Amino acid sequence: MATTVDEITINFEEDGLLLCKEVTKEILTKGTWATIMFKYQDLDKASGEYKAPKISIRRYQKRNGEYKTMSKFNLSSIAQAQKVCEILKKWTEGEQDGAGTSEGED
Which residue, among 41, 45, 42, has the nearest Cα to 23 in the 3D structure?
41
pLDDT value of position 67 = 97
Q: Please, which pLDDT band fits residue 102 given cuts at 50, 70 and 90?
A: very low
Within 16-99, strands assigned E span 17-29, 33-42, 54-63, 66-75
**What is the reported pLDDT for 106?**
45
Check whether 100 has a pLDDT greater than 70. Answer: no
- Least Cα distance to 11 among 44, 41, 37, 53 occurs for 41
- pLDDT (average), residues 14-28: 97
H-helix segments, 1-106: 78-92
Read off φ and ψ for residue 30, nearest 5 degrees: -120, 165
pLDDT digits (tens, 9 = 90+) for 39-93: 999 999 999 999 999 999 999 999 999 999 999 999 988 899 999 999 999 999 9
Domains of the chain, by residue range, sit at: 5-92
